[in-house]
Amino acid sequence: MTIITKIQVQKHSKERYSIFVDKGAGEEYGFSVDENTLIKHELRKGMELDELGLAEILYDEEVRRAYLQAIQYLSRQMRTRHEVIAHLKDKEIGQAIIGEVVGKLDADGYLNDREYALAYVRTQCNVGMKGPILIRRELQEKGVDPAVITHSLHEYPQEKQIRNAVQLCEKKRKSYSRLSFIQQKQKLEEMLMRKGYDRGVISICMEELQEEKDEEQQNEALLHQAGKYHEKYKKYSGWEYEQKMKTALYRKGFSLEEIERFLQDKNIE
């Protein structure tokens, strides 16, 4: 039989207590518990503990420790149930204790994947301006149920997706100003696909950009690219020079009409 001989508040944590016991050979340090565990088991000086009672106390203390670790993890930001379980596993906490902790977190209202998914969608579409495909994939990686993900994505209608896609293109297009419109379009399509937008939204976005096509910028891009290829092919002349220029500029996305007009203007000069 184990008898509690002393209960002492720990120096570095006023919510934890050191329990000293006598197992028949004099007083010795036994174990430490959280205040919650102390109160739950009504631990006090002179209390006798059998093996089963001691095991229950130590098990509850492990659950309490794991629970507090989970609360600390959740205090930084919202987390999914899957993320909390993975975090506790990383801490080498047993499956049974994890089950107890998750159940308590549920009961205390700390875990709600539905609310998490809704908040995540709102943040990623308004701040990150990500497309629904990427958001779905990220929520899947966080262990959110597919049905919950589908429900949360109702917060992100196609009209909002199109506005975001167009806005992203308008920002990025400036860095592609020296490319042909076709190359700009290809680059922007690739960017939107990486951001998680579907083909339908990308197509609508590209149609809007087509209507806004800047002929002056296209001409400046043509002059820029032609200047680079002229330096490369200036050792040629006549038909051979023109064919090499046409091939190179065509591959850069300029139309034959634009290229012919440029070459004619250059010959006039």
Ordered domains of the chain (ranges, CATH): 2-107 (1.10.10.10), 113-156 (1.10.10.10), 157-213 (1.10.10.10), 219-269 (no CATH)
DSSP code, position 19 = E
Residue pLDDT, tens place only, 149-161: 999 999 999 999 9
First to last CA, the chain: 107
Q: Compute the Cα dihedral for 72, 76, 77, 80 and give only its sign.
A: negative
Residues of the chain with pLDDT > 90, as a percent, come to 62
**What pLDDT band is residue 210 in, cutting at 50, 70 and 90?**
low
Tens of pLDDT, residue by residue over 241-256, are 778 877 877 777 777 7
pLDDT at res. 213:
54
| 70 alpha-carbon distance from chain centroid | 20
Q: Is residue 74 scored above 90 in pLDDT?
A: yes
CA atoms of 141 and 143, how far apart (whole Å): 5
Cα-trace Rg, the chain: 34
* pLDDT beyond 50 at 206: yes
pLDDT 10s digits, 90-113? 999 999 999 999 999 999 999 999
Rounded distance between C-alpha atoms, residue 79 and residue 90, angstroms: 15
Q: Are 81 and 113 in contact (CB under 8 A)?
A: yes
Q: Work out the average pLDDT over 187-211.
A: 88
